[in-house]
Amino acid sequence: MLKEISGVRIPDSKIAREVTELIRDTESDLLFHHSLRVYCWGALTGNRMGSTFDPELLYAACMFHDVGLTPRYKDSQLRFEVDGANAARDFLRGHGIAERDIETVWNAVALHTTPGIPQFMRPEIALVQAGAAMDVAGLGYDEFPDAQREAVIAAFPRETDFSHEIIDAFYQSMKHRPDSTLGTFNDDFLAFKDPHFQRVDMCTVILASSWNSRNNGSAPAGHASTAGHGCHGDHSHCDAGHGKG
C-alpha cells in the first residue's frame, strides 16, 4: 500500500499495520477502500485547517468506522456505529493504548454519522466525520483541489457505482435492526430500499407515551394513540428504543 498520498502519510507503525490487516480481512473491498479514503479526506482536511491531530488515532478510527456494517454483526441490535466503536476499543486495549486515546477513537467512530457535534470535539473525532461525509455524500468536495481528489482515488479506487453500493451496504447491515436507526439519518437507507419501512415519528411517540395515559388508562382526547407511530410489532420494544426520560 502507498505510504503517502498528496502529502498525507499513511501510518505504517506496527499497530497501524495490524489495524490494516484486520480490516482488510474483515471488510469488503467497498468498505476497505472507503475507509482508507476517509482517512485521506480527514487528514487532508486537518492539514488544510491547520489542525493538530494524531495520525495513528485518526487512522484507527477511520479504519474501524464501518466495521459494524460487516456480516459479523448480522445479529446485533446496537447501532452499527457503536459496534464499530466497541471493536476499535477492544483492539486498542489489547495493544496497551491509553484510555484517553481509546475514548477519542471510540467517540470518533460512534459519532461519525452524527453531524453537528463532532466538529466541536477533538480533531480526530471531527476529522472522521468530515472524511466520511466527503467520501459518501461529497460534502466539502470543492475544498479539495482536483489533484488531491485524483491522487486519493488513484490510490484507493472508488467503485463506478459506489453511491448505490454503499447505500445497499448500509441497508443490508441495518434492515434487521431498524430501531437502531432512530435519531439518525440511517433510517433513510431503510426507507430508500424498503417501501414498507415505517419511520418512527417522535412527536406521535411523545403524545402516546405513558404520561398521557395516566387518566383511566387512556390518552387524553385529541392525542394520538400508539397505533401507526411507525414502530414494528406490538410496540413493546419502543419504550426502550426511544429512551424514556
* pLDDT tens column, 47-74: 999 999 999 999 999 999 999 999 999 9
Residue 85 has pLDDT above 60, yes or no: yes
List of residues 6+ apart from 102 with CB closer than 8 A: 88, 89, 92, 93
pLDDT given at position 215: 58
What mean pLDDT is predicted for residues 77-87?
Answer: 98
Q: How confident is the model at residue 217 (pLDDT cuts 50, 70, 90)?
A: low
Report pLDDT for 177: 97
| Residues contacting 105, CB < 8 A, separation 6+ | 57, 60, 61, 64, 85, 88, 89, 92, 124
C-alpha distances out from residue 143 to 29, 68, 123, Å: 26, 29, 18
Cell match 473525532: residue? 125
Q: What is the mean pLDDT of the chain?
A: 89
Give the per-residue pLDDT at 62.
98
pTM of the model: 0.85
| pLDDT at position 201 | 86
Would you give the DSSP letter of residue 232? -
Q: Considering only CA atoms, which of 34, 75, 58, 60 is closest in space to residue 165?
A: 34
- Decide if 6 contacts 40 (C-beta within 8 A): yes
- Does residue 65 contact residue 107 with C-beta atoms inside 8 Å? no
In this structure, the strands spanning 4-5 and 8-9 are antiparallel
* pLDDT, average across residues 215-241: 42
